[in-house]
């Protein structure tokens, strides 16, 4: 089985690349190497005979066609995207381009390629789109997202992912391209670019800086360890039904402020400078149109495919904190590339 994984130099994609190789698959990692990519994330497999890397932009049809032609994949796992909500407020057109146009190009190239395959490879081919629970919009105090929840995206990021999901479904219905979609909650774990909530808290705390919490910190998110997500994605690729959607979550929904306090408590155990770290928590202006609550009902993937998360949030946060403490060079090199951890995504009046 040879899997073409787009975005495999990013946070989740690299976890999928590492796990797919460990599981015995061959992998082609197609990535444009944007600001959030990091080839260090796949250094452990870079010399593996089952691994190949291709630097290409998913919006560049000729480049994507060449990757399909040269590597002849059996399946596509499409993760390449602009992924940070705050950046989508700063520059929404980048998200329209990468997430919508890029997905359309991937679908078109995959469609031509799939049509050219002989049986049984043609029937076995899969195009798996990796999406987010943010396409469903915000929940109130109660309820959970399911595969039937209507789309109601709020940010340019979630709207662009929703558009991509619609394109994938349309290519499935209109052209019979064999597609499957997953919508997952917030991921955390090693190798996450330090602009997202959990690595922001850890890396800023380790540097003795203030720990920004948006608004009053009462927004609720469900958290899933990235390796559990990678496991779920490979399970869906192998056994998911065509044209279906699977919601993936960690059954670990917590208020942001509580997650930040849990991280600070873990930091107090392993990073004695600047304790108690919670003293550095600073409430800052909220994100525009900040969705109040996300929670996932992941019973379909459990019932139909037997997948459940293995890593509890407390243990996963402890491991993640340790990883950032033990790998300061990883963050340092990102800082040296110009990442300054400044606040993004405030709409100017
Ligand atoms: P990331 O920003 O860490 O990685 C994205 C990768 O895509 C990078 O390596 C980047 O170079 C690549 N990329 C971006 N634009 C590209 C282009 N035009 N051509 C080729 N490569 C390009 O993001 P992530 O957090 O790993 O998210 C991966 C996917 O999972 C995204 O599709 C995201 O929407 C989805 N997702 C993320 C989360 C989460 O919590 N991070 C949750 C659910 C779904």
Tokens of residue 49, six digits: 């005979």
Task: Tell me whether strands 126-132 and 179-184 are parallel, antiparallel or unpaired.
Answer: parallel
Domain-by-domain residue ranges, the chain? 2-188+224-251+294-311
Query: From the CB of 83, is ligand 1 less than 6 Å away?
Result: yes
Q: Quote the pLDDT of residue 340.
A: 86
Q: What is the pLDDT along the chain (349 residues), one digit of tens a residue?
A: 999 999 999 999 999 999 999 999 999 999 999 999 999 999 999 999 999 999 999 999 999 999 999 999 999 999 999 999 999 999 999 999 999 999 999 999 999 999 999 999 999 999 999 999 999 999 999 999 999 999 999 999 999 999 999 999 999 999 999 999 999 999 999 999 999 999 999 999 999 999 999 999 999 999 999 999 999 999 999 999 999 999 999 999 999 999 999 999 999 999 999 999 999 999 999 999 999 999 999 999 999 999 999 999 999 999 999 999 999 999 999 999 999 888 899 987 6
Residue nearest to atom 41 of ligand 1 (CA): 187
Active site residue 134: yes
Q: Is 133 a catalytic residue?
A: yes
**CB of 164 closer than 6 angstroms to any ligand 1 atom:** no
- CA separation (Å) from 195 to 93, 142, 268? 20, 29, 22
Cβ of 9 closer than 6 Å to ligand 1, yes or no, is yes
Q: How far apart are CA 56 and CA 58, in angstroms?
A: 6
**Domain at 2-188+224-251+294-311: CATH code:** 3.40.50.720
pLDDT of residue 349: 62
Could you tell me if 5 and 20 are in contact, meaning their C-beta atoms sit under 8 angstroms apart?
A: yes
Distance CA 23, CA 17 (A): 10
Q: Is the CB of 307 under 6 A from ligand 1?
A: no
Known catalytic residue at 47: no
pLDDT of residue 59: 98
| Distance, CA of 45 to chain centre | 20
- Residue linked to tokens 């203030």: 210
Taking the CA of residue 80 as reference, the ligand 1 atom at the shortest distance is: 7
Ligand 1 neighbourhood includes 228 CB (under 6 angstroms):
no
SS3 label, residue 212: strand
* pTM of the entire predicted model: 0.98
Of the residues 31, 57, 82, 134, which is catalytic?
134
> DSSP character for 217?
S
With the most atoms of ligand 1 within 8 angstroms of its CB, the residue from 5, 6, 8, 10 to mutate is 10
Supply the DSSP string of 107-130, one letter for each residue: HHHHHHHHHHPPTTHHHH-EEEEE
């Amino acid at each position: 089985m040879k899997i073409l994984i787009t975005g495999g130099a990013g946070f989740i994609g690299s976890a999928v690349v590492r796990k797919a190789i460990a599981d015995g698959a061959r992998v082609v990692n197609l990535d444009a190497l944007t600001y959030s990519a990091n080839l260090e994330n796949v250094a452990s497999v870079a010399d593996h005979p089952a691994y190949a890397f291709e630097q290409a932009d998913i919006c560049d049809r000729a480049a994507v066609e060449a990757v399909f032609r040269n590597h002849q994949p059996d399946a596509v796992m499409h993760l390449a995207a602009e992924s940070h909500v705050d950046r989508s407020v700063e520059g929404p057109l980048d998200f329209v381009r990468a997430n919508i146009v890029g997905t359309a190009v991937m679908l078109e190239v995959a469609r031509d390629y799939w049509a050219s395959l002989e049986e049984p490879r043609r029937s076995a081919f899969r195009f798996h789109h990796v999406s987010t629970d943010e396409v469903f919009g915000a929940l109130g105090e109660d309820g959970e997202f399911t595969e039937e929840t209507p789309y109601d995206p709020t940010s340019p990021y979630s709207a662009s992912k929703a558009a991509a999901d619609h394109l994938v479904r349309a290519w499935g219905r209109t052209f019979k391209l064999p597609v499957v979609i997953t919508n997952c909650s917030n991921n955390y774990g090693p190798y996450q670019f330090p602009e997202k909530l959990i690595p922001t808290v850890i890396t800023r705390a380790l540097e003795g800086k203030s720990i920004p919490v948006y608004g009053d910190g009462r927004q609720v998110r469900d958290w899933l360890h990235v390796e559990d997500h990678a496991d779920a994605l490979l399970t869906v690729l192998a056994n998911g039904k065509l044209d279906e959607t699977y919601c993936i979550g960690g059954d670990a929904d917590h208020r942001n402020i509580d997650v930040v306090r849990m991280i600070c408590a873990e930091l107090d155990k392993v990073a004695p400078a600047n304790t108690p770290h919670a003293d550095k928590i600073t409430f800052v202006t909220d994100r525009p149109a900040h969705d109040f609550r996300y929670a996932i009902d992941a019973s379909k993937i459990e019932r139909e495919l037997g997948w459940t998360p293995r890593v509890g949030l407390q243990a996963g946060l402890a491991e993640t904190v340790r990883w950032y403490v033990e790998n300061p060079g990883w963050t340092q090199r990102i800082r040296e590339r110009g990442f300054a951890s400044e606040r993004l995504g405030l709409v100017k009046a």
